[in-house]
Structure 1
Amino acid sequence: MDLLAALVLGVIQGVAEWLPISSKTQIMFASQVLLGAGPELAYSLGLFLEAASVLAALIYFRGVYLEILRGLLGDAEGRRWLKYVVVTTAVTGAVGIPLYLAAKRYLLLGASAGWLMIALGLAVILNAAILQRARAAAGLKTFGEMPLSHMALVGLAQALSVLPGVSRSGITTTTLLLLGYRPDEAFKSSFVLVPIAGLGATALAYLSEGNAVATPEAATAMAVGLVVSLATIRALLQFAKSRHVALVNIAVGALAIAGGLAKILTP
């Protein structure tokens, strides 16, 4: 991997991770084009570069993670975040592991994952008008109002991201939007879960490929991905806080559809 390829992969990771498109799929495609890597190595590299997203989330949302630590000591707000992380992770593990094993054998490895993202994107766009009316009438939900059932649904959505072509951030964000949460709350609640999934992905890639992915150039790509990630998170959260709720939902839905089409057209 040369320096230019490392820079390109870092930018892709830093942008795609936080949008409703699968970052690992984009890294796979770029690695095959730029590096001539085989599918297995390209996939592992996509997983390995998740470390950049993990660091970005830990830095940007450090206040939330401190709240979680305080939750262990009895802080009420911290307990809610702690419950959210525990419930979503438990559901993701319970559903995601069997789904991953099934996906390796059956049809979900193909274009079905792309159709799933397209369906979610269309649902979010169609729901935009409903959310706009809800905001005008009674306001949208905040994280503090999230019941246990919604936490479990987020965990279920996150489990579906084990399928190739399904964006973890995309599917969890769209799920929260469909449940009626404010866009900024949906983005934040989705992004806070990145370190758990990302650390597992990076460890899995290193264990399977070792020094083939852990190279100085990969470290450069991670550094670039970290910087770009911080800028992307900030921009997305500022956009999500705007009053144009319907526009935010349409943009998320359109990107989810684009990600699904990319999966179908480049299986």
Structure 2
Amino acid sequence: MGWFEAMVLGLVQGLTEFLPISSSAHLRITAALAGWDDPGAAFTAVTQIGTELAVILYFSKKIGQILVAWFYSLYKKDWRSHPDARLGWLIIVGSMPIVILGLLFQNDIDHTFRDLRLTATMLIVFGIILLIADRVGKQERILDDLSVKHGLGFGFAQALALIPGVSRSGGTTSAGLLMGYTRAEAAEYSFLLALPAVFGSGLYKLTDIGKDGQTAQWGPTILATIIAFAVGYVVIAWLMAFIKTKSFVPFVIYRLALGVLLFVLIFAGVLDPNAGPAI
């Protein structure tokens, strides 16, 4: 992977990580269209650390409150019912599905799930699910209403994003809307819930960077991560303002159009569904 390629993919990662359109799908598609090698699951996982650092910066006050309340809840009984302490515990609970499934399906994540036909299918299917959730969700609940059952619901939705095309933010936000949470609250919890999983995945995959001549090397990966951080912060700020007054319909239309276009390119022979080595 060259420096220009890393710059482009870092920009794509930052632009798409928080939008409900699947950053992993866009990294995969961008590389395939440009004729580059598949950047691989390791590159995706590590560059996502950059976008999650943007989450920490944007939600720093809220994250600080959660950490303080959670820490106190470990040894002070009266803190265990505090909303921020409960949120901290439920982020841990909600992270369990993706950790377990990520380990169980590690080989599929690195290989089988990166087939562009599957990516196109997930873009369309989960675009429709997002549309339904956006239309039928009651949007009455806030994060103080979060329960263990709902935390696990968010968690299993996040785990589906192990498949490129699903979208971590799209899947978890759809689950939140279907469970009655507002767009802003569902999106905020989606971003917070991603922190343990993304950092865990990124650290786990660090040893795969520069492992051989085919995988991404350290220099370009670091550059892409820095770009993803800067661009990601701007996108978070824009999205949180956008969804307070607008629906997810524009993202649904985009997902459907991209999924259909991807199928057309594949069946027309323009794109190989396994373009680039699956690494």
Could you say whether these structures have the same fold, taking a TM-score greater than 0.5 normalized by the shorter chain as the test? yes
Distance 2:147 2:20 in 1: 24
Distance 1:119 1:233 in 2: 24
Q: Give the partner amino acid of 2:130.
A: V
Q: What CA RMSD, in Å, does the superposition of the two structures yield over aligned residues?
A: 3.0
Q: Which residue does 1:83 correspond to in 2? A: 89
Q: Kindly indicate whether residue 188 of structure 2 is the aligned counterpart of residue 188 of structure 1.
A: yes
Q: Give the partner amino acid of 2:248.
A: N
Conserved 8 A contact 1:28-1:45? no
Q: Kindly indicate whether residue 65 of structure 2 is the aligned counterpart of residue 67 of structure 1.
A: yes
Deviation at residue 31 of structure 1 after TM alignment: 3.6
Give the SS at the match of 2:154: helix
Q: Which residue does 2:252 correspond to in 1? A: 253
Q: Which residue does 2:76 correspond to in 1? A: none
Q: Which residue does 1:215 correspond to in 2? A: 218
Distance 1:101 1:45 in 2: 15
Of the candidates 101, 121, 129, which is equivalent to residue 115 of structure 1?
Answer: 121
Conserved 8 A contact 2:46-2:225? no
Q: Give the partner amino acid of 2:95.
A: T
Relative to structure 1, the CA distance from residue 129 to residue 222 in structure 2 (aligned partners, 3 Å threshold; closer, same or farther) is closer
Q: Which residue does 2:46 correspond to in 1? A: 48
More displaced stretch, 111-120 vs 225-234: 111-120
Distance 1:9 1:108 in 2: 16
Higher helix share: 1
Relative to structure 1, the CA distance from residue 120 to residue 9 in structure 2 (aligned partners, 3 Å threshold; closer, same or farther) is closer
Deviation at residue 259 of structure 1 after TM alignment: 5.9
Give the SS at the match of 1:210: coil
Distance 1:189 1:258 in 2: 28
Conserved 8 A contact 1:27-1:45? no
Conserved 8 A contact 1:7-1:224? yes
Q: Which residue does 2:37 correspond to in 1? A: 38
Distance 2:216 2:18 in 1: 22
Conserved 8 A contact 1:117-1:166? yes
Deviation at residue 214 of structure 1 after TM alignment: 4.3
Deviation at residue 263 of structure 1 after TM alignment: 6.4
Conserved 8 A contact 2:90-2:147? no
Of the candidates 215, 232, 236, which is equivalent to residue 235 of structure 2?
Answer: 232
Distance 1:55 1:69 in 2: 16
Conserved 8 A contact 2:98-2:197? no
Relative to structure 1, the CA distance from residue 210 to residue 84 in structure 2 (aligned partners, 3 Å threshold; closer, same or farther) is same
Give the SS at the match of 1:181: coil
Relative to structure 1, the CA distance from residue 99 to residue 42 in structure 2 (aligned partners, 3 Å threshold; closer, same or farther) is closer
Distance 1:113 1:236 in 2: 24
Deviations 1:200-258 (A, max 9, x none): 3323432123365343333222222111111100010001122x4xxx13234334445
Give the SS at the match of 1:180: coil
Q: Which residue does 1:14 correspond to in 2? A: 14
Distance 2:18 2:261 in 1: 17
Relative to structure 1, the CA distance from residue 43 to residue 261 in structure 2 (aligned partners, 3 Å threshold; closer, same or farther) is farther
Gaps of 5+ in 1: none
Deviation at residue 56 of structure 1 after TM alignment: 0.7
Distance 1:111 1:31 in 2: 15
How many aligned positions are there? 255
Deviation at residue 97 of structure 1 after TM alignment: 3.2
Distance 1:107 1:230 in 2: 28
Deviations 1:11-48 (A, max 9, x none): 211111011222123223334555x5433x44432222
Distance 1:190 1:7 in 2: 26
Give the SS at the match of 2:19: coil
Q: Which residue does 1:241 correspond to in 2? A: 244
Of the candidates 96, 100, 106, which is equivalent to residue 94 of structure 1?
Answer: 100
More displaced stretch, 9-18 vs 229-238: 9-18
The TM-score with structure 2 as length reference comes to 0.77
Q: Give the partner amino acid of 1:9.
A: L
